[in-house]
Structure 1
Amino acid sequence: MVVEFPYGDGSLGLADYQDLKCEVVYPTGVAAIDTSTEFQNILSKQNPVRSIGHFIRDAESAAISIETRYLSSIIQPMLTELLNHIVAGGISSENITILFNEQDKNCSQLDVSSLQTDSPFDSCNLCIHNPFDDSRVVWVGETTASNGVLLCESYVRADFRVGMGAIAPDGFIGATGGGTAVLPNIASRETIIRNHKLRLQNDPRFFDITQPAAEDIAEAARLGGLDYVFNCVIGGSGTPASIVAGSFPEAWMEGVHTSERLTIKDTPHSASIVVIGGGGHPFDSTIYDTVDCLIAAEKVTQHGGTIVLVAQCSDGLGPAGLGIGMTEESGSLVAGSLTNADFLIGMEKARILRRILETRNLIVVGELQKNLVEEVLKGRKAADLPDAIDMALANHPSYPRVVIIPDGRFISFS
């Protein structure tokens, strides 16, 4: 039997693992849904919280902020169904703006211009938001955490504002979806940085939407006038599990609860060795992207144990703040000790990564340069997955207990 780890655009297999005293933990399986039927059904629900017609009754223009992460091939059918309902509600396609974030990794691979080629939506306006361009954002207010919220003007000026994206676990903000279509998706760089800095204030907790950064996002979404969310709940291994739509935050919270039921697992008995996959592209593109997986691995690994991370990391460490944060004095990675000018995105995850690696050994299988593994992460690089297993077993020669988590992106432990 072979365990397949998602890896980049492919997978890596681990064979003959039965000789190990191990437990394999998979994400909760979900039945495939008929997405086109689900999209139509959820958007057509006739109640004040769900019915899209209720929201656009007096609107003359609409803006749709789209997060592409996790959605891949279902972006176009989701958007088509949403546009159908908006146009049917009386808003002309010429008065609909579709917004993407230029920094979105998946946006660069998506032919967004193709979304305008299908009649009757070829006359929709397309806006690629650049968070570094301050000339195209407007002030909408300040959050309780003193985060000045600047958002894309094309979104703010619309009568009806929609957030479209995916709901998935996120240790630093509880869950994605909902307000993340506003912050970070169409926010200014400064607003995004201030929100990330809030993540220094607490240890990450999956599905806890009361964390400072999560509450800041929700408040920014309300300040920006987010009227309606259209979210796909992502299940194990990235499979669409269900669809939610309606007012924010009610519809989004319904989806968060569904995601939590699909993601949370009973914690296995602690292991000497945990082998965990980063989830494949785009979730294993950098070490920064894999920190949520390492949080899950830490919870299962004994103090002094070994984590084997299977992640392509073709783009290296990730944001500059991660590498800098890994080499700074640990006391400097505290919210109160950093000004907004000093803080760099990545430092919030460096703080957690440092904590994990203080008590766990790390072995990396992937393309991350050996010097970065050794000098920044204080770990060791393996030639391949079998080599990593041999290295881990050498650390724990006395019949170690092993937990294998092929896809760590959609698993967290109670």
Structure 2
Amino acid sequence: MTWINVPDGSPFGPENLPLGIFRAGDEEPRMGAAIGDQVMDLAPVASAQMLDGSQVFAEPTLNSFLALGRPAWHATREWLLDLVRNENNRDAVEPHLIPQSAVTMLLPFEVADYVDFYASEQHATNLGRLFRPDSEPLLPNWKHLPVGYHGRAGTVVTSGTDIVRPSGQRKAPADDAPTYGLSQRLDIEVELGFVVGSPSKLGEPVPVDDFMDHVYGVVLVNDWSARDLQAWEYVPLGPFLGKSFATSISPWVVSLEALEAAEVPLAEQEPAVLPYLASENLANYDITFQVYWNGQLVSSPPYREMYWSPAQMLAHLSVNGASVRTGDLYASGTVSGPEKDQRGSFIELSWAGREPLTVNGEERTFLVDGDEVTITGSATTPDGHRIGLGSVTGRILPGA
């Protein structure tokens, strides 16, 4: 319940209250919380209530807030819930509600490091069948560890940022030699991103059960992928230029506390994982995504199907002693389900271009200049509440 008018079907109900960074007009960027179709400007409310540490709400990124750690995250959520539920707060809050349509949303946090995983068995199997049709689709290590690679933090951008078509080397199987040019097989990847708040010390792995002590929340991720560049470069060291040109994230960070009611047990893993990846508390989230290609819904991938849990990804990321830092982002890898309309990339949906989709009356395989892709997502709780993650959008511009 809330005294604020929240439209029916809003992704940002009073149980959600995600945090982001906004700019109103020419004012300085600062932190806000989404409620319905409005932004609650937190800096003046916190200042007026003389909240301890209120200065973090006036910062131009979430990093200072993220660094405060789990007790402060919980206290802030309790404060926000009281602001929107308690009618006595109306006079203090109502003057600082701003329509979302009147603000510009910015990159919510300064990204320290970026790691991308490969945690969907369906996605890994589909790509294995496409790339290695005469071999087992999953490589021998896949069910023993969360496979991942380090990406490029400096090219993580917020939703609405245009994506320039990348160039690089390409070599089709029938070609005698590689050529240089614009990617002709530009793709998307639907992913869930995890935002690290509390850092760890170099040399000290993060135990699998300490996930919630280090990760504040989640964002939607579109990991743009140039498949022709990727296919030529990825052996033997993995993705590089085919991935590093841009990764888009949604502007609102949804807290793990808000998502707790949408947790589902992780499916049994076979073979049994090594002890550092094992726990009785492993969970995924009942989140469903929607992929819109030029406005047409083409896929609805389910996150609950993921093989590796977010806690296992964090534990593996740090098991060699690598530290995590405030502002680190790690993503799940492409989310794909068992059905064709649950595939989270166009290379899967079009089966590497051999099975075109019909998009607004046209046969399509990969992205062309001018295409726009929007990914949305929401979790459903047992009591029927919808916890929305917002959306992440990008439009393809011609490359040079």
TM-score (norm 2): 0.24
